[in-house]
Amino acid sequence: MRRLRVAVIGVGHVGEYHVQKYAALPEADVVGVVDIDKDRARLIARRYDTRAYFHHDEVLGQVDAVSIAVPTKDHFSIAMDVLSKGVHVLLEKPITDDVEQAAQLINRAASDNLVLQVGHTERFNPAVREMRTMVNNPIFVESHRLNPFTPRGTDVDVVLDLMIHDLDIILNVVKADIKELHGVGMSVLTGKTDIANVRIIFDNGTVANLTASRVSNKTIRKLRIFQPDAYLAVDFANKELGVTRLDQDRIGPEGFPQIVTSNMQFPDSDPMLSQIRSFLGAVLERRPPEVSGEDGKRALSVAHTIIQQIERGCKYFQSIC
Q: What is the CATH number of the domain that holds 229?
A: 3.30.360.10
If asked whether residues 163 and 102 sit together in one domain, one would say: no
Burial class (CB in 10 A: 0-12, 13-18, 19+), 19: buried
**Do the domain assignments include residue 244?**
yes
**Do the domain assignments include residue 35?**
yes
Would you state the pLDDT for residue 27? 95
**Do the domain assignments include residue 318?**
no
If asked whether residues 182 and 219 sit together in one domain, one would say: yes
Would you state the pLDDT for residue 255? 72
- Amino acid letter at 267? P
Segments of the chain with pLDDT less than 50: 320-321
If asked whether residues 112 and 141 sit together in one domain, one would say: no
Q: How many domains does the chain have?
A: 2
Residue 243: partners with Cβ closer than 8 Å, 6 or more residues away: 134, 230, 231, 232, 233, 261, 262, 263, 264
Predicted TM-score (pTM) of the model is 0.92
If asked whether residues 55 and 169 sit together in one domain, one would say: no
What stretches of the chain show up as alpha helix (H) in DSSP?
13-24, 38-47, 75-84, 99-111, 126-134, 158, 164-173, 271-285, 293-312
**Do the domain assignments include residue 252?**
yes
Would you state the pLDDT for residue 279? 98
Residue 254: partners with Cβ closer than 8 Å, 6 or more residues away: none
**Do the domain assignments include residue 295?**
no
**Do the domain assignments include residue 88?**
yes
If asked whether residues 43 and 97 sit together in one domain, one would say: yes
Instruction: Please answer whether residues 145 and 166 qualify as being in contact, where contact means their C-beta atoms are separated by less than 8 angstroms.
Output: yes
If asked whether residues 280 and 253 sit together in one domain, one would say: no
If asked whether residues 179 and 241 sit together in one domain, one would say: yes
Q: Specify the 3-state DSSP secondary structure of 20.
A: helix
As a whole number of angstroms, the distance between CA 36 and CA 128 comes to: 35
**Do the domain assignments include residue 243?**
yes
If asked whether residues 23 and 74 sit together in one domain, one would say: yes
CATH of the domain at 11: 3.40.50.720
Measured in degrees and rounded to the nearest 5, phi and psi for residue 138 equal -60, 140
Phi-psi region of 113 (alpha: psi -120 to 50; beta: other; left: phi over 0): left
Residue 166: partners with Cβ closer than 8 Å, 6 or more residues away: 122, 143, 145, 210, 212, 223
Would you state the pLDDT for residue 320? 45
Tell me which residue range forms the domain holding 187.
123-269+302-312
Instruction: Please answer whether residues 195 and 188 qualify as being in contact, where contact means their C-beta atoms are separated by less than 8 angstroms.
Output: yes
As a whole number of angstroms, the distance between CA 81 and CA 153 comes to: 23
Instruction: Please answer whether residues 72 and 156 qualify as being in contact, where contact means their C-beta atoms are separated by less than 8 angstroms.
Output: yes
Closest CA to 103 of 120, 116, 93: 116
If asked whether residues 61 and 128 sit together in one domain, one would say: no
Closest CA to 306 of 154, 200, 174: 200
Closest CA to 315 of 215, 195, 167, 137: 195
Instruction: Please answer whether residues 54 and 34 qualify as being in contact, where contact means their C-beta atoms are separated by less than 8 angstroms.
Output: yes
Which long-range contacts (C-beta less than 8 Å, at least 24 apart) are formed by 313-319?
Answer: 313/184, 313/185, 314/184, 314/186, 315/185, 315/186, 315/187, 315/193, 316/186, 316/187, 317/186, 317/187, 317/188
**Do the domain assignments include residue 297?**
no
As a whole number of angstroms, the distance between CA 316 and CA 158 comes to: 14
Closest CA to 72 of 93, 50, 45: 93
If asked whether residues 100 and 167 sit together in one domain, one would say: no
If asked whether residues 97 and 51 sit together in one domain, one would say: yes
Bridge partners (DSSP) of residue 138 are none
If asked whether residues 52 and 175 sit together in one domain, one would say: no
Would you state the pLDDT for residue 321? 41
For residue 227, what is the enclosing H or E element? strand 220-227
Cα angle, residue 200 at apex, residues 195 and 202 outer, rounded to 5° = 165
